[in-house]
Amino acid sequence: MSDKAAKKRQFILDTAKTVFAEKGFKSVTMKDIVEACEISRGGLYIYFDSTEAIFSEILRDEAAKQSWNLAGGSAGDRLAFFLNEQKKSILSSDKGLSVALYEYMFYKHEGNLSCDDINDAFKAGVAAVEAIVKEGVDSGEFYADDIHSAALNIVYLLEGLRLAAGTVGVSERDIDGQLVYILGGLIAEE
Amino acid sequence: MSDKAAKKRQFILDTAKTVFAEKGFKSVTMKDIVEACEISRGGLYIYFDSTEAIFSEILRDEAAKQSWNLAGGSAGDRLAFFLNEQKKSILSSDKGLSVALYEYMFYKHEGNLSCDDINDAFKAGVAAVEAIVKEGVDSGEFYADDIHSAALNIVYLLEGLRLAAGTVGVSERDIDGQLVYILGGLIAEE
Amino acid sequence: MSDKAAKKRQFILDTAKTVFAEKGFKSVTMKDIVEACEISRGGLYIYFDSTEAIFSEILRDEAAKQSWNLAGGSAGDRLAFFLNEQKKSILSSDKGLSVALYEYMFYKHEGNLSCDDINDAFKAGVAAVEAIVKEGVDSGEFYADDIHSAALNIVYLLEGLRLAAGTVGVSERDIDGQLVYILGGLIAEE
Amino acid sequence: MSDKAAKKRQFILDTAKTVFAEKGFKSVTMKDIVEACEISRGGLYIYFDSTEAIFSEILRDEAAKQSWNLAGGSAGDRLAFFLNEQKKSILSSDKGLSVALYEYMFYKHEGNLSCDDINDAFKAGVAAVEAIVKEGVDSGEFYADDIHSAALNIVYLLEGLRLAAGTVGVSERDIDGQLVYILGGLIAEE
DNA sequence: AATGAATGAGCCTTCATTCAT
DNA sequence: TATGAATGAAGGCTCATTCAT
């Protein structure tokens, strides 16, 4: 049973994810999810108490899937790979979930609710980028006065791009231009 | 009469602005605004049909206040001034409105509604920054391979910072670090 | 001034009449009339307290215009003339007011409100028809066992036609068929 | 469950019918029905979306109950039976629903909404009467120049009576007088 | 007289949440 | 566990009516 229950739980999460990707966070109601999952109103409450609980768990799932330190290779290769992944994610339809994510963050922030998962994820992201940059600096591939600022710069820039993608829209060329800029900033200066 | 009406209209806008700053965009109801303004339900409808209409007008007001091409001086001075203004705005309590703004943009975006005011404002921002950068490059103060990308870089970075300020939070030091980074990128390379 | 006021009052009645013709009785709001007349909300209340008061006065006006005993001629001529007038009224756009009239009657009836004007008008109509029929019978033009029933028959039939015109619709042929039927009933039997 | 739901649905229809009979169509609000049924506001919406939907279904129910071609016997018997049924219906408290019906028809008509059910019912009524008349004419019981007009005459007259019953009121004697008139018109002329 | 802003009551509709089955 | 009917709170909107100017 616990097995079956786990499967149903996962089914709900997967289905709800598509709903959040489509409608953002705040607009999604328990009813929307009930309808998308084609289960009963009461049935959903057995597993989750609120859209917030569902989204929070979806985030946990997503975070678990993340692997910052993918592959091996030189720092340059790894950074290039990372940036390419980010580019794909910014352009992809999964962008939808990022809009929901922003709404979720605002929602938590407005309520002055702690949002440690998000904060932690952000810090983890910064740390991962910082690690790559540091490695590159150590190996002489990159140049940076202040490694922390360099990493933050990359992360903030990517957030800015992602946000723009969800609102005013960005072209692939715009993204490429910025990625070149990032790499240039780390490499060009001898 | 029209004078009095204009005053009340402005009063509503001003009051609503504080509500949006506090609660974002989506969570704000006509009732919230009615209560904040201490007017009657029907009274509000005399002036505005929806929270969207109110917020849209607030945005117009804000945009009108914007003056990108402030002061004179060298390109460097002007950029420094601009960045300092941005820094203040990112750190200030007006930050609240920016969260509402993001929600508003997502709201429009989800509904596939045109949001020309926002798009125009974004483009205007990019153009203004680009103008300063170009001026600096022309005068030899700045160096940039691709002026457009350089301007976009600044704008995206500031958006990323502003977003972070509204969610995970940013310290003044973080902002300063990034501003230095921007200036460094434009100046350092000879 | 009283002259000017009387003119305005009449203007309101005339304008409101077109509104009632278009929307019936119950759907018409004071706001509708205010807008149609392009006067102020408060201004309307100076003259009338409710849509009911306005409609009631319109009815009085209409009743005053009615002249059942028009023209002279034989009973047959006068009946033919009367029926032709009814036919025109049933087919005309003034039909709109008749729908409003029905709604008004129902409205009064539901509230168990006296509606003497209507009742009186109905009785007056019956009496007028009855007078013509009686005249025809006396002169030998018509034949009728029961003059009152004959008159009621004509009135009810016309009401049925008018009602149908406002709902399921009637063709001119249908009306003609019924008028022939009426005349036939009075004349054919010797 | 579906059984219980069907019962509740029917309960709502039955209760709403009394409300419509009392207040007509347009004045009835969802709130009225909610209160009459002693259920919750939201509860009603589970079954019906609007007063129109409820009334429409009530009409369907009523139409299903109708049996035009009742009993056997001669055309004269059948017509007499039919007319007697109509008389009872005109005099009965079910009259209330007929006022609502008229309002409903006007409502649909004003909105230029198709109201096929009503039109069909009207045509079916005419056809049924026409069939009886034709049968009588064929068997020599009745006499009529134009069978269609004769049938329409009966139907329009009954509508006129029903309408009058809902507004100015009719006495049983008035109705009897008219029924005699109808029968006389069909029979007397040899 | 006339204006039109303001009020507040009233109806509509949608959901989160509960609960008997 | 699962269902889905039921509830009631919440927010949206429209008008009749009043009132200061």
D24, D146, D181: residue with CB nearest C106? D24
- How far C74 CA lies from chain D's nearest CA (Å)? 24
Return the pLDDT at D119: 86
Q: How many Å from the CA of A12 to C1' of E16?
A: 18
Q: Could you tell me if B153 and A157 are in contact, meaning their C-beta atoms sit under 8 angstroms apart?
A: yes
Nucleic acid strand E within 7 Å of A51 CB: yes
Chain C residue numbers with beta carbons less than 8 Å from the beta carbon of D27 are 26, 107, 110
| CA-to-CA separations, C83 to C119, D5, D155, in angstroms, rounded | 21, 54, 19
Q: Could you tell me if A147 and A137 are in contact, meaning their C-beta atoms sit under 8 angstroms apart?
A: yes
Q: Do B156 and A152 make contact, defined as CB atoms within 8 angstroms?
A: no
- How far C120 CA lies from chain D's nearest CA (Å)? 9
Nucleic acid strand E within 7 Å of B41 CB: yes
Convert the pLDDT of each residue in C108-134 to its tens digit.
887 777 777 788 888 989 999 999 999
B interface with A, Cβ–Cβ below 8 Å: 22-24, 26-27, 99, 102-103, 105-107, 109-110, 115, 118-119, 122, 145-146, 148-150, 152-153, 155-161, 163-164, 166-168, 174, 177-178, 180-181, 184-185, 188-189
User: DSSP secondary structure string, C149-187?
Assistant: HHHHHHHHHHHHHHHHHHTT---HHHHHHHHHHHHHHHH
Q: pLDDT 10s digit of each residue in chain D, 190 long?
A: 578 899 999 999 999 999 999 999 999 999 999 999 999 999 999 999 999 999 999 999 988 887 655 667 888 999 999 999 999 989 986 667 888 998 999 888 877 777 787 888 889 899 999 999 999 999 999 999 899 999 999 999 999 999 998 888 899 999 999 999 888 888 855 4
How many CA atoms lie less than 13 Å away from B6 in the CB half-sphere? Answer: 3
Which bases of chain F are contacted by protein, using any atom under 7 A from a CB? 1-20
Q: How many Å from the CA of B69 to C1' of E9?
A: 52
Q: How many Å from the CA of A45 to C1' of F4?
A: 13
Give the pLDDT band of residue C95 (cuts 50, 70, 90): low
Return the pLDDT at A190: 44
pLDDT at C97 over 90: no
Residue D183 CB partners (closer than 8 Å, separation 6+): D79, D80, D83
Q: Which long-range contacts (CB under 8 A, 24 or more apart) does B49-52 make?
A: B51/B16, B51/B25, B52/B104, B52/B107
Q: Do A106 and B103 make contact, defined as CB atoms within 8 angstroms?
A: yes
Convert the pLDDT of each residue in C27-75 to its tens digit.
999 999 999 999 999 999 999 999 999 999 999 988 888 765 556 788 8
Domains and CATH numbers, chain D: 2-58 (1.10.10.60), 66-187 (1.10.357.10)
Q: Do C105 and D167 make contact, defined as CB atoms within 8 angstroms?
A: yes
Chain B residue numbers with beta carbons less than 8 Å from the beta carbon of A122 are 164, 168
- How far D1 CA lies from chain C's nearest CA (Å)? 38
Q: Which of A74, A109, A68 is nearest to A89 (CA)?
A: A68
Average pLDDT over residues C74-85: 91
**What's the rounded Cα separation, in Å, for the pair A173 and C96?**
64
Return the pLDDT at C190: 44
Nearest CA in chain D to C112: D167
Convert the pLDDT of each residue in B110-139 to its tens digit.
777 777 878 888 898 999 999 999 999 999
Q: Which of C67, C59, C101 is nearest to C85 (CA)?
A: C67
Size of interface C-D (CB pairs under 8 A): 124
Q: How many Å from the CA of A144 to C1' of F20?
A: 71
pLDDT at C77 over 70: yes
Convert the pLDDT of each residue in B22-63 to its tens digit.
999 999 999 999 999 999 999 999 999 999 999 999 999 988
Which bases of chain E are contacted by protein, using any atom under 7 A from a CB? 1-20
Q: Do B110 and A164 make contact, defined as CB atoms within 8 angstroms?
A: no
Give the pLDDT band of residue C7 (cuts 50, 70, 90): very high
Convert the pLDDT of each residue in A51-97 to its tens digit.
999 999 999 988 888 765 566 789 999 999 999 999 998 998 666 78
Q: Which tops the pLDDT comparison, C174 or C188?
A: C174
pTM confidence score? 0.89
Return the pLDDT at A116: 79
**What's the rounded Cα separation, in Å, for the pair A37 and A18?**
11
